[in-house]
Structure 1
C-alpha cells in the first residue's frame, strides 16, 4: 500500500500504540470476489470508478485460485424493482438503482463470471455477510481464511473484511485487487483495515499464498 509521509506516520503511530498485529493465513483459504460487476467499469454508470487495474488483478487471482483448486466465491448486489429490499441503504445511495433486477450493470464483469459449482452470494447491503448465508457456507466448508478482492475498498470491501473478522474468519485484503472512486479513499481504508480488522497483502503475496495452499491441498489429496 502506497502513501505519503502522513500515512506512514499514522501507520507507525498505530503500531506504536499496539495496533496492527498480523493474522496470517490459516489452514484453509478461499478467494472471495466482492461485487466485481460492470457497474464500476462501464462509462455512464453512476458507480463508475477508475478500477480497471484492480479488476485485472482480481481476474488474475480468480484464475490462480481455480488452478490451485481453492474455493472461489462471488458476491453480487440485487434488488427487486423499486429497491424496497434495499431498505435505508438503497435510500441513502440512490445510485444503487443500477442493481435492480434486469439492469445489465449488475452483471459480472468480463472474465469474472462464476463457473458452475462456484458459490454466488446475493446481497442487499455492503457486507457480504449481512443477511446472507456466507458465514454458514464457509463454516460448512471448513474455510478459515478469505483472500478478499473487488469493489469498493471503502464500501463493500471494508464492510466484508470487518464482518469476516467478527465471524471468526481471517481477512486478507489484496491491495492491488481492490479499487475505489479515488486512490485516497482506497489507501485510507486499507491503512485502517490493516490496523484494526484485516491483513492487507500485495497481489504478489496473495498469489504466493494461493499457490502454496494449492500445493498443500493437492499433496493431501494425492493429485
Structure 2
C-alpha cells in the first residue's frame, strides 16, 4: 500500500470523500488552456500536452452530445493593476496582459462562435465574474472541469463551484500542472473534500 492509499483510507475512515455524482444538466468548463503553458520560453511552460489532448477529446464529446462548453481566459490590463496582489505574488502572470499572444487559447481548446467565454483576473473562474449567474440562468447544475493548472485555477474553480451549489467533476487526464506530484496531491485532496475526480473514460461515458 502506498502513502497515497494510506491517506485516502484515512480520509474515508474520518468521513471524507462521498460522491456528488452527475446532475441532470451538465456542462464542460475549460479553464485557462492558453498558449502560455505550451510555448517554449514562457515562464508558465509546463508538460501539459497530454492534458491538452484529453481536453480536446472532452470538448469534442460534449459538442457531439450537445452539452454546453464554456471557456475561461485570463486577461490583465497593461501593468496588471487589475490583477491586484495575485499579479504581485506571481509576476509570471504578465504573460496574460492584453496584447500578449501567450494569452491566446491553445490550438484545439478554443471556443466556437456562440460558446461562452468568461474573462477573469484571479484563480477561480467564479471570483468577480458572471459565471455563476450564467450557469444558473441556463439551468446547469454540474461542471466537468478541465484545464490548467490543477493546483491553481482548477482547484480554486472546483472549490468555488461547490460553494456556489454546482457539482464539480474534475477530469483527471484533462488537467495538468508543472509537476505530476502537484497534480496528484491536489486531485487527492479535491476528491476528499470538494469535488468528484473522474477519469477521462468515465467523463466521456457520462457525457454520452
TM-score range, shorter chain: over 0.9
2:141 is matched with which residue?
Answer: 144
Q: TM-score, normalised by structure 2?
A: 0.99
Q: CA RMSD, aligned part only? A: 0.6
Are positions 1:176 and 2:173 aligned together?
A: yes
2:47 is matched with which residue?
Answer: 50
Q: TM-score, normalised by structure 1?
A: 0.93
Deviation (angstroms), 1:163: 0.1
Are positions 1:99 and 2:104 aligned together?
A: no
2:8 is matched with which residue?
Answer: 11
Deviation (angstroms), 1:113: 1.2
Classify the secondary structure of the residue corresponding to 1:136: helix
Q: Distance in 2 between matches of 1:65 and 1:42?
A: 27
Query: Size of the alignment, in residue pairs?
Result: 208
1:214 is matched with which residue?
Answer: none
Deviation (angstroms), 1:141: 0.2
Deviation (angstroms), 1:185: 0.2
After superposing the two structures, state which structure 1 stretch, 162-171 or 108-117, moved more.
108-117
**Aligned counterpart in structure 2 of residue 59 of structure 1, from 40, 56, 61:** 56
Q: Distance in 2 between matches of 1:5 and 1:54?
A: 25
Deviation (angstroms), 1:202: 0.2
Are positions 1:31 and 2:31 aligned together?
A: no
Are positions 1:113 and 2:86 aligned together?
A: no
1:154-181 C-alpha deviation (Å, 9 max, x unpaired): 0000000000000000000000000000
Are positions 1:157 and 2:176 aligned together?
A: no
Deviation (angstroms), 1:112: 1.1
Q: Distance in 1 between matches of 2:39 and 2:207?
A: 30
Moved over 3 A (4+): none
Which ranges in structure 1 are unaligned for 5 or more consecutive residues? 212-223
1:80 is matched with which residue?
Answer: 77
Classify the secondary structure of the residue corresponding to 1:39: helix
Deviation (angstroms), 1:206: 0.4
